[in-house]
Amino acid sequence: MKSISITSSIAVMMGVLTLSSATEAKSGSCPDQTEAKHVLLFSIDGLHQADLAEYIAAKPESTLASLVDSGVEFTNADTSKPSDSFPGLMAQLTGGHPITTGVWYDIWYDRSLYTPGSDCTGAPGTITTFTQLIDIDPKDINGGGSTNVTALPRILKDGKCEPLYPHQYPRVNNLFQVARSHGLVTAWADKHTAAYDIARGTDGQGLTELYVPEIASVPVEVGPTIAYDNLHANAFLNWIKGKDALGEKQIGIPSVFGGNFQAVNVAQKNVGTPSAALSQAIDSVDTSLGKVVDGLKDAGTYKNSVIIISAINGNAPRNMSEIKRVNPAILPAVLGNVSISYTLTHDAGMFFLANQSDTFKAASSAYANADKVHLTTLWAGEGLRIAGFGDPAKDPRVPDIMFQSEPGTLFDIDPAHIAVHGGFNLDDTNVPLIVSSPLLEKQKRTEHVETTQIAPTILCLLGLDPNELEAVQIEGTEVLPIF
């Protein structure tokens, strides 16, 4: 059998425990004073560091190349693990990992919550869905105008059964809340109308404006998605002018604002890497970023602005020749046919068991069936706590078992599905991280950093205390070494 890294109680019996401490992220420090007045944060969803390097090499006159040339580029940056839009965004906004934020995935499981529409009686435990499925109408560009409250998980709070809104889901505050508490203007653009209420922060008051046209209302094709991205780009330009997203009223130029681009994500999933569609998608983002830079210059704010570019997730695999398909129908047998409350598999496996006492049996079976799922790393039970993911015996959002498979493994037999995210391999997690500004000297840094360091860095740039972020206090998240 191939070598497998196991972190669980079965490792002691099998004598195959291989623990390696995670590489510590490189840290910096806040300067005594900063001249930054505006920080812009953009996620090019799906973009890998390798994609960025190839694009800049091919197009040295691009906006992306100029941003790299006028700031600090980190070539060894990791996004969240698992790599999904929800934990990826929370990493950037809070400075915390899922163990701290409680945000693992946009569709997840919580042993302490109750089923949508229920009266919070009976045994707790429910799937938590924070996607377009909680819109009133996901086919409408405005999501139908509000949240479908009947689709929200329920929480028993002070004896009352209440819906849990997305902004109430994280366990820690975010940078927008900190900025607003100091009287600063904040704004953000994202992809799902109701679900990205999560960006408002735990008090629901973190954003001066949240702009969330529903991406599920447009065809999942590169052309329509570029048009969708242009809605975000127009919002960015209006914010630079001190107006709201639609340019209808004055809100003041935000001190911190941004959002994401989706076309690269769609191109990778639909067509693959490399492809003309992917080049078209990156070109469109580059054009939008060029307009943002020009807008800052026209507004006279460029010299006091910092632009941060990263990605909340990569998509795997980049190399389509690596694809190894696994029929997800075999997974119950792989885990010993124990009862499973929730399964999430894209290019990794995450499982909540109906009975946590079955963890040993399920993990042992997964180890015995490793070749069937191309398993390389297994975390189970106490092993999850040891590995830093949290304790499933105490935290209702930590799965009982997780495993990572070989690069290229897709738990999907549909040949049209060629790239996904959600795992822990390099193509899932190695994303760009650029901090660009006339205020910074050009640097190319190769040490390991994480996107969790973005949040405290932004507060540092604005002259605020990063320790006002609860996740920074809990995890000791450091600012990026940019000064």
Tokens of 479: 């600012």
Dihedral of alpha carbons 193, 194, 196, 199, sign: positive
CB 359 within 8 A of CB 400: yes
Q: What is the pLDDT of residue 29?
A: 81
Angstrom distance (rounded) from CA 280 to CA 382: 46
Angstrom distance (rounded) from CA 316 to CA 296: 35
3-class DSSP assignment, residue 188: strand
- State which of 410, 445, 466 marks the end of a domain: 410
> Of all helices (H) and strands (E), which one includes residue 152?
none
Query: What domain range is 304 assigned to?
Result: 38-103+168-319+426-475
CB 376 within 8 A of CB 5: yes
Q: Is residue 329 a part of any domain in this protein?
A: yes
Claim to verify: residue 91 and residue 215 sit in the same structural domain: yes
Claim to verify: residue 193 and residue 283 sit in the same structural domain: yes
Q: Is residue 372 a part of any domain in this protein?
A: yes
Q: What is the pLDDT of residue 86?
A: 98
Strands 38-44 and 256-261: parallel
Claim to verify: residue 447 and residue 404 sit in the same structural domain: no
Claim to verify: residue 368 and residue 301 sit in the same structural domain: no
Claim to verify: residue 332 and residue 439 sit in the same structural domain: no
- State which of 362, 380, 410 marks the end of a domain: 410
For the chain, the domain total comes to 2
Q: Is residue 125 a part of any domain in this protein?
A: no
Q: Cis check for the bond before 274: say yes or no (omega within 30 of 0).
A: yes
Claim to verify: residue 272 and residue 350 sit in the same structural domain: no
Claim to verify: residue 329 and residue 315 sit in the same structural domain: no
Residues whose CB falls within 8 Å of the CB of residue 12, separated by 6 or more in sequence, listed in order: none
Claim to verify: residue 392 and residue 431 sit in the same structural domain: no
Give the pTM: 0.95
Q: Left, alpha or beta for 3 (phi > 0: left; psi -120 to 50: alpha)?
A: beta
Q: Cis check for the bond before 407: say yes or no (omega within 30 of 0).
A: no
Claim to verify: residue 339 and residue 280 sit in the same structural domain: no
Q: How far apart are the first and last CA of the chain?
A: 48
How many CB atoms within 10 Å of residue 158?
5
CB 106 within 8 A of CB 153: no
Query: Could you read off the pLDDT tens digit of each residue along the chain, which spans 483 residues?
Result: 456 766 654 543 332 333 333 445 666 788 888 899 999 999 999 999 999 999 999 999 999 999 999 999 999 999 999 999 999 999 999 999 999 999 999 999 999 999 999 999 999 999 999 999 999 999 999 999 999 999 999 999 999 999 999 999 999 999 999 999 999 999 999 999 999 999 999 999 999 999 999 999 999 999 999 999 999 999 999 999 999 999 999 999 999 999 999 999 999 999 999 999 999 999 999 999 999 999 999 999 999 999 999 999 999 999 999 999 999 999 999 999 999 999 999 999 999 999 999 999 999 999 999 999 999 999 999 999 999 999 999 999 999 999 999 999 999 999 999 999 999 999 999 999 999 999 999 999 999 999 999 999 999 999 999 999 999 999 999 999 998
Residues whose CB falls within 8 Å of the CB of residue 448, separated by 6 or more in sequence, listed in order: 23, 24, 25, 26, 76, 77, 78
- Residue 440 has φ and ψ, to the nearest 5°, of -115, 150
Claim to verify: residue 331 and residue 463 sit in the same structural domain: no
Query: Whose structure tokens read 């860095």?
Result: 457
Angstrom distance (rounded) from CA 119 to CA 412: 36
Tokens of 126: 């429910």
